[in-house]
A and B are shown apart, each in its own frame.
Chain A
């Protein structure tokens, strides 16, 4: 170990850095769990305070917020069905069902442990093989992104619930919504109706808050969902060590998926948790597959370790190439530059000590996350003791405040409410909401990269199969799609046979 490494580790262990880290994680948890307050905002608010502060101390606070916020987005998803970020939407697949079963505490504990493990594993990848991983990121050009997006679409089948057809309907609605706004290649307006608010398209976060939170409140208004109070006594069911033991491989695989997707710029944690969930489901046997969507703790382990593992992954291209993969890392890039550090290939040689300080700070953040999170898992389920007649209106207020605060826009509040109503209607028709959201996230990746590829190849489709990575991903996707169709046909045949048998 060189002196640089030791110096770096010591930077991150000074009391000021430790305290900054702890406060950062705490602030991040608050920002992440309130819908509309995002990790990006938390970090942007802190940056002016970091002028003139020691870089490692500053980054202890900033990374603390990042790690805390990415983790905490899922807490409100699980407890009250209100995701704060796109990444937290995957927690909705199993979280609220677990809460309904009275296992809120168990779900939150698993969230915390899975997040911390995912975060730490991605840290390890970042520290040990960052430069090699960065080169992988560079091999991804438009055709590869397109193939990856296409692969993502195959997940729709996994999150559709009972009916593939209804899942596809939801996905197509999501695709259509993603088309609104300026055309990414030519700049032509699509479905904007001369409304300047629609030029940049529908923002995913207000749409998501409406889609999931408001629709849930409306459904509960009907009094159809069972009273919370009855489940109170059971919320104390904790997580057992066996739950963790049986999920070790699941968490490992999900963390690897999260880290990998984090490294590829412009894909993001929203996609990572859905992919991890889908892979878990595909790896399960037929018997276990039936448990999904009904409160399966394994699902939480997958989605949460994956979305937290994105943090370490996203720092790989940022630190080694100076390329931010998403909005949060773009803000972190600004923070690095203010410190006079230019991220890129030379950073490791010129400021090795600071880099190792940052690595250590990230590890410490994940440890604080575990400590604070386990505390939160004990306390937070008590929210459910609040009578529904008070809790539901409070959620609506937070949804409105949250969707306004994203870009100080009343139009976003309107979007949120419209999507709330849309979500309610879709639920009434039994159309699942997750595929809609997934399509909204994936559509821009697929569309822009398809069209970029066509520009690059002068309209020659072979660009997708002559490049190795994209060819492999496309073949795998076709294979998966084939299997999904095959299974559907089989299901249909079985049904037909049973009907014939009855008659």
Chain B
């Protein structure tokens, strides 16, 4: 009996010691031994969506690269603000990061009082993807180019409609800002619940045009729909004959739906750099590239500094548009 007691006491000491060392190593904040425990990636979206998918692909790579468990936690709701607030209020030690997107970062906090500002409460780690939008019409339409669509809208005010993913979402913000720069062009916005509904309304000829993420309309191009222009800076590999808005002489306030990693404000720079480098490496990995390509998600890496600048600029521009929409 005494022997058993001795063994269990020893065991207890060992366990306690192990715990205290891991606890103390976890508490070093300069990040020299980062990461020493599980990293949690929050997504402000429901499981199963494109945000979840990207997080899981990257998490799988980071797990191998950083030799630590990487979890993906879904916190949807509140137009993305629930997930953002959860990460904002967690410890700034690099173990709680978020894979967020344009909506929760620069749209929601500008239209609602949700308790955070992306530039003040978050550190930008890296942008990973940016999916451009395309504007399309039904193939049976007489409209063959963006100019013709705009002319039609000019000649028949309010009777030309365009569908998007939803009210106040990026597609809507970018398009309405674009239309506001044009003289006398009025198009009626029809918000749908998600991109798929908008595409099916256009396929069924219920709307005149639709602004969608290109991956949603490419499969129908020349087979029900006609894509008139894309929002990316350069022409797309899959759509070599479709011009960009820039080529046609129009300037946009956003080039597409981006996703990027952020951490709570005050996360040590060293940790941000470690994560940024690991994410960059992930996006250069062949398997990761193949998975992104199959899922129709264009990789577009921006490092911490460039991402930060971009978020700052878009935040200002989007805030203006959202105010004008109100």
Contacts and interface: CB of A to CB of B under 8 A. Distances in A.
B305 to A, nearest CB: 30
A343 interface: yes
Contact of A184 (B85, B167, B218): B167
B112 A408 contact: no
Nearest to A333: B196
B145 interface: no
A324 interface: yes
Contacts of B167: 182-187
A345 B291 CA distance: 23
A407 B74 contact: yes
B73 interface: yes
Contacts of A503: none
B204 A140 contact: yes
Contacts of A487: none
Interface string B67-91: 0000001111111011001000000
Contacts of A455: 161, 188-190
Contacts of A41: 47-48
A24 interface: no
A344 B204 contact: no
Closest 10 CB pairs of A and B: A141-B206, A44-B48, A344-B219, A331-B48, A138-B204, A187-B168, A196-B78, A44-B47, A187-B167, A196-B81
A280 to B, nearest CB: 30
Interface stretch (B49-57, B118-126, B259-267, B269-277): B49-57
Contacts of A456: 161, 188, 190, 206-207
A382 B192 CA distance: 46
Contacts of B196: 265, 323-324, 330, 333
A184 B49 CA distance: 20
B268 interface: no
B304 to A, nearest CB: 27
A458 B75 contact: no
B200 A323 contact: yes
Contact of B48 (A47, A322, A339, A345): A47
A199 B112 contact: yes
Contacts of A183: 167
Q: Give chain A's interface residue range (CB within 8 Å of chain B).
A: 35 or more
14 contacts: A40-B48, A41-B47, A44-B47, A44-B52, A48-B56, A141-B206, A196-B81, A199-B77, A200-B78, A317-B200, A331-B49, A333-B196, A345-B223, A411-B82
A231 to B, nearest CB: 39
A54 to B, nearest CB: 15
Contacts, number: 156
Nearest to A48: B56
Interface of A: 40-41, 43-45, 47-48, 51, 137-142, 182-187, 189, 194, 196-200, 203, 265-266, 317, 321-324, 327, 330-331, 333-334, 337-340, 342-346, 407-409, 411, 448, 452, 455-456, 458
Given A48-B60, A196-B114, A338 B52 contact: no
B78 A197 contact: yes
Nearest to A332: B48
B213 to A, nearest CB: 12
Contact of B113 (A47, A182, A194, A458): A194
B295 A337 contact: yes
Nearest to B50: A334
Interface residues of B, number: 59
Contact of B194 (A203, A330, A408, A452): A330
Interface string B189-219: 1111110110111011011000000011011
Contact of A408 (B75, B159, B166, B201): B75
A346 B219 CA distance: 8
A350 B98 CA distance: 38
Contacts of B73: 408
Contact of B191 (A184, A194, A327): A184
B18 interface: no
Contact of B74 (A141, A331, A344, A408): A408
A327 B294 contact: no
A338 B46 CA distance: 18
A331 B206 CA distance: 26
Nearest to A329: B196
B300 interface: no
A199 B50 contact: no
Contacts of B193: 184, 266, 448
B9 interface: no
Nearest to B78: A196
B53 to A, nearest CB: 6
A498 B207 CA distance: 57
B158 interface: yes
Contacts of B192: 452
Given A40-B48, A197-B82, A456-B190, A137 B200 contact: yes
A251 to B, nearest CB: 30
A196 B82 contact: yes
Contacts of A44: 47-48, 52
Given A141-B204, A184-B167, A196 B85 contact: yes
Contacts of B249: none
B190 A452 contact: yes
Interface string B130-158: 00000000000000000000000000001
A289 B52 CA distance: 48
Nearest to A41: B47
A138 B200 contact: yes
A458 B159 contact: yes
B26 interface: no
A338 B223 contact: no
B240 interface: no
Nearest to A142: B206
Contacts of B49: 330-331, 334
B298 interface: no
B219 A343 contact: yes
A317 B215 CA distance: 17
B168 to A, nearest CB: 4
Nearest to B192: A452
